[in-house]
A and B are shown apart, each in its own frame.
Chain A
Amino acid sequence: MAGTIRRKITPGDVRSQRGTEESVWVRWLLIGAGGVVASVFLILPLVNVFWQAFSKGGAAYLSAISHPDTWAAIKLTLLVAVVTVPLNSVFGVAAAWCIAKFEFPGKALLTTLIDLPFSVSPVVAGLMFVVLFGLQGYWGRWLQDHNLRVIFSATGITLATVFITFPFVARELIPVMKANGSDQEQAALTLGASGWQTFWRVTLPNIKWGLLYGVILCNARAMGEFGAVSVVSGHITGRTDTLPLRVDKLYNEYNGAAAFAVASLLALLALVTLGLKTALEWRTAALQDRAQAVGSDADKSEADNHPSNAT
């Protein structure tokens, strides 16, 4: 080890001296290999979407985007997200409240059941709603007799999307609420606040970043879901096509440039989602650093609002 002292020591060398870091060659070889993986799987697919979308020029792009059927798909996608995200958010807050703040028998089972939709294939999820509401299923005949439609309509698409995005908000909020504990709520109650006041003024401000994080992920999946929605939609052009289904239809009509133009909207959504998500994570990390630097617990409760990465 003493031999290394002969060299001029730069900050980067300090660690390699301790023998806990690889040689410069290995390091850059690994970074290079990682760069190739990232290029093939992350960067090229993203760039290609926009490249192909504009392959026939800006005018062709605009006409693909402004096609009435595409507009109908945009509206349906937004409608589904506007219904789905608040429903699953309210559920997520309620579920996190009872799971994080109370002890009761069957809690572990409940947590597992909430995560269940993540392990169901989207196609199988869609099929479940066909079984309930389709003509060959339980209530299909009755619905038809009463002139109601669930399958092949926005209702069925929304139900399938709610199922697919069910756990997103809950599983972000449960760890946040657990970390926050319930001391602050108890203090508020002791001081005479009502239950709802405590929730709106104490709990909600504490969980707002975790909630936002869950909402962003839930929304991205709700707008981008394909398999489950594909099974229940019926693919009626201009009526039950969401954006991903519209991409599929254009692609199957050999209209590649238009398919990519519509896909570019969804890729943009993915980029915005990633940007917001990363900003939230950086904010949390900065808060945690500050809390550590100050060495006090003052910021801890807020810094603990860390959004987890696991999905």
Chain B
Amino acid sequence: MSEKKHRILPGFGLSLGYTLVYLSALVLLPLAGLILRTLHVSPADFWHLATTPRALASYRVTFGASLVAAVADSILGTLLAWILTRYHFPGRRLLDALIDFPFALPTAVAGLTLADIFAPNGWLGHFLVPWGIQGAYSILGVVLALTFVGLPFVVRTLQPVLESLDRDVEEAAAVLGAGRWSTFWRVIAPLLLPPLLTGFALSFARAIGEYGSVVFISGNKPMKTEITPYLIVMRLDENDGFDGALVLAVVLLVFSFVLLGVVNHLERWAGRFQD
């Protein structure tokens, strides 16, 4: 593990140099450009543009729907991870492979097909809409699309932890007289909490920035179902909306970075007993 040992290998300067140049040109420069250009906007204008009624409504939709979707993902994802790791049933391997479908499917296609399924004459909308459940062109539609794109995060963070859980602890609980239900809540659930929080935060973060799947299903009604990324696109299309687009983008960016910090912190916290 000594640091010197690795230095014998060649190519450190070349690979690090290339990495830094490529990273700077394609990620850091565009990022810096966006932030520097936004500094041209005066603080008063920034505040004004960041807090227009339409912007505030879009934050409510984006953050509210993302939060609900991340909670839904946590529940549904735990269920899927549990049955995939604990039970044997026909089609298990197929289901396991399909979990990543939302990662693999282009978001535009996801939005298109989900909107169609939940539309009044769609496969599910046909049954749900008469009951007053509007899955398409509504805030529920936004939640459905965001739940779809975030679902794999929770399953894939929980699965390895569930697989590596030591069955002895559960056995001990059972031998000591605990029922299955209390074993789950008192023994298994506390162990699942850190990865569940990570999965929750990852799907939440993904939902905040999501665009493709939502625009097809939400109907994009200003003040009602319009998400912040969509409002950015709308501002860009306006004649003098450029500053407005920049301000909203920086608001989203700051929030995403804070969330990234939270995720990193959670992962360190969850892994504090390892190694």
The answer to whether B211 touches A122, judged by C-beta atoms less than 8 angstroms apart, is: yes
Complex Cα spacing A13 to B15, Å: 56
Is A43 positioned at the interface, with any CB of B under 8 Å from its CB? yes
The answer to whether A226 touches B156, judged by C-beta atoms less than 8 angstroms apart, is: no
Q: Which among A31, A52, A271 is the interface contact of B113 at CB below 8 angstroms?
A: A52
Enumerate chain A residues within 8 angstroms of B6, measured Cβ to Cβ: 101-103, 182
Question: Which among B37, B171, B212 has the greatest number of chain A C-beta atoms within 10 A?
Answer: B212
Interface residues of A in 75-131 (CB under 8 A from B): 91, 94-95, 97-99, 101-104, 110, 112-117, 119-125, 127-131
A257 to chain B, nearest CB (A): 11
Enumerate chain B residues within 8 angstroms of A45, measured Cβ to Cβ: 105, 110, 113-114, 117, 148
Is B256 positioned at the interface, with any CB of A under 8 Å from its CB? yes
Known: A19-B174, A123-B232. A37 touches B114 (CB 8 A): no
The answer to whether B8 touches A186, judged by C-beta atoms less than 8 angstroms apart, is: yes
The answer to whether B256 touches A98, judged by C-beta atoms less than 8 angstroms apart, is: no
A62 to chain B, nearest CB (A): 19
Is B47 positioned at the interface, with any CB of A under 8 Å from its CB? no
B156 to chain A, nearest CB (A): 4
Enumerate chain A residues within 8 angstroms of B156, measured Cβ to Cβ: 309-311
Query: Which B-chain residue is minimally distant from A128 (CB atoms)?
Result: B30
Is chain B's interface secondary structure helix, strand, loop, or mixed overall?
helix
Q: Which among A48, A103, A112 is the interface contact of B264 at CB below 8 angstroms?
A: A112
Number of B residues near A (Cβ < 8 Å) is 95
A213 to chain B, nearest CB (A): 12
B268 to chain A, nearest CB (A): 11
The answer to whether A247 touches B33, judged by C-beta atoms less than 8 angstroms apart, is: no
Is chain A's interface secondary structure helix, strand, loop, or mixed overall?
helix
The answer to whether B109 touches A227, judged by C-beta atoms less than 8 angstroms apart, is: no
Enumerate chain A residues within 8 angstroms of B86, measured Cβ to Cβ: 21
Binds B, one of A141-149, A272-280, A297-305: A272-280
Interface residues of A in 33-55 (CB under 8 A from B): 33-34, 37-38, 40-46, 48-49, 52
Residues of A within 8 A of B (CB): 18-23, 26-27, 30-31, 33-34, 37-38, 40-46, 48-49, 52, 91, 94-95, 97-99, 101-104, 110, 112-117, 119-125, 127-132, 136-138, 159, 162-163, 166, 182, 185-186, 189, 195, 198-199, 217, 220, 223-227, 230-231, 243-245, 247-248, 251, 256, 259-260, 263, 266-267, 269-271, 273-275, 277-278, 309-311
Jot down 20 A-B pairs with beta carbons below 8 A, ordered by A: A19-B170, A20-B174, A33-B79, A102-B7, A110-B23, A123-B211, A123-B232, A123-B233, A127-B245, A127-B246, A138-B37, A226-B212, A230-B233, A251-B112, A251-B216, A259-B112, A260-B116, A270-B106, A274-B98, A309-B100
